[in-house]
A and B are shown apart, each in its own frame.
Chain A
Amino acid sequence: MQFTVTETENRLVITVAEARIDAAIATRFKDKLREVVLRHRKPVEMLMGAVDFMDSSGLGAMIAVRKALPDNLPLVLKDLTPNVERVFRLTRMDTVFDIRPAAADEEQTE
């Protein structure tokens, strides 16, 4: 399970380094990240730019991590690739997650 965690004073930045969040790793992904967010108890920012592919089991893992955040702490997702963004959009989960474009990608066209 490849990701790095950087803690600042007021938030946790998780950079996901896995190319695929799929059925092969969804359970481990969910368990590891749930443990991380529960331990730190801070707002979370997840950088997803390295993830090329996510299926519905990966989406389920992301939802489980969001639900694990205590006290309604925010979870912000950044740098979604088109394949990952599609899954959030088609399942309407883009209305539940706080998904933001990367600041450096403002000129990127759809």
Chain B
Amino acid sequence: MTSTERQNAGLNGQISTRTQPMFHRVLHAQPTRVRETLTAIRTRFRSEVSDDTLGRLELVLAEVMNNVTEHASLADSAADAGQQPSIHISIVRHDTGLACAISDDGVSLPEECLLPRGLPVMDLTDLPEGGFGWYLIQDLTQALCYYREEQRNFLAFSIPFTDQTGGR
């Protein structure tokens, strides 16, 4: 059965209730919370997808959540936890990859983050120490999309399975 047929399978209850591993969490945009969440995601999907897929997933999610942690704070000068954006993250395993949705209530994502980009200029006498995050996100994801609705940023993408054995 193709994925289209499955989606059109209707309400007979047999196919549409097939369970797929999922992950959902709400967290404060804070480095140790991001780390805990990534560790939990690794644990959740470890037996479901290959090490390679898991590694790509973890790297992309780390970059996205680090960006929120570092740049989305509503008041940069305020150190109190009340100013940290709240991140909602959902991941679902599909037949061809892992579908991810991440939202936060921080400041708007600058448009240039989503424009196609290359690596930072490689000046061997003064190597860049940053500017890699969005390149990695764009390089490792498919169907990356973003929208802003009221006070939240929404980012969605998928991490494809690349090996012949699918998710394993």
- Which A residues are closer than 8 A to B by beta carbons? 20, 22-24, 53, 55-57, 59-61, 63-64, 66-67, 82-83, 86-87, 90-92, 96
By beta carbon, the residue of chain B nearest A82 is B55
**Which of B32, B52, B127, B135 is close to A82, meaning CB atoms less than 8 Å apart?**
B52
* A-B CB contact pairs (8 Å), 29 listed: A22-B35, A22-B62, A23-B66, A23-B69, A24-B31, A53-B59, A53-B62, A55-B59, A55-B62, A55-B63, A55-B66, A56-B133, A57-B66, A60-B130, A60-B132, A61-B129, A63-B127, A63-B128, A67-B129, A82-B51, A82-B55, A83-B58, A87-B136, A90-B135, A91-B119, A91-B136, A92-B122, A96-B124, A96-B127
The answer to whether A64 touches B129 (Cβ under 8 A) is yes
20 more A-B residue pairs beyond the given contacts A24-B34, A60-B130, A96-B124, with a C-beta to C-beta distance below 8 A = A22-B62, A24-B31, A53-B55, A55-B62, A55-B63, A56-B133, A59-B132, A60-B129, A64-B129, A67-B126, A67-B129, A82-B51, A82-B55, A83-B59, A86-B55, A86-B56, A90-B136, A91-B135, A91-B136, A92-B119
Take A82-B52, A92-B119 as given contacts and tell me if A56 and B124 are in contact as well, using a CB distance cutoff of 8 Å: no
**Residues of the B chain whose Cβ atoms lie less than 8 Å from the Cβ of A59:** 132
Closest to A27 in B: B31
Do most interface residues of chain A lie in helix, strand or loop, or is the interface mixed?
helix
A83 CB contacts on chain B under 8 angstroms: 55, 58-59
With A82-B51, A82-B52 known to touch, is A96 a contact of B132 (CB < 8 Å)?
A: no
Which parts of B110-168 form the interface with A (CB within 8 Å)?
119, 122, 124, 126-130, 132-133, 135-136, 139-140
The number of chain B residues touching the other chain, given as a range, is: 20 to 34
Distance between A77 CB and nearest chain B CB, rounded to angstroms: 15
A67 to chain B, nearest CB (A): 6
* Residues of chain A with a CB closer than 8 A to B52's CB: 82
Residues on B with beta carbons closer than 8 Å to the beta carbon of A23 = 31, 34, 62, 66, 69-70
Tell me the complex Cα distance, A55–B130, Å.
Answer: 11
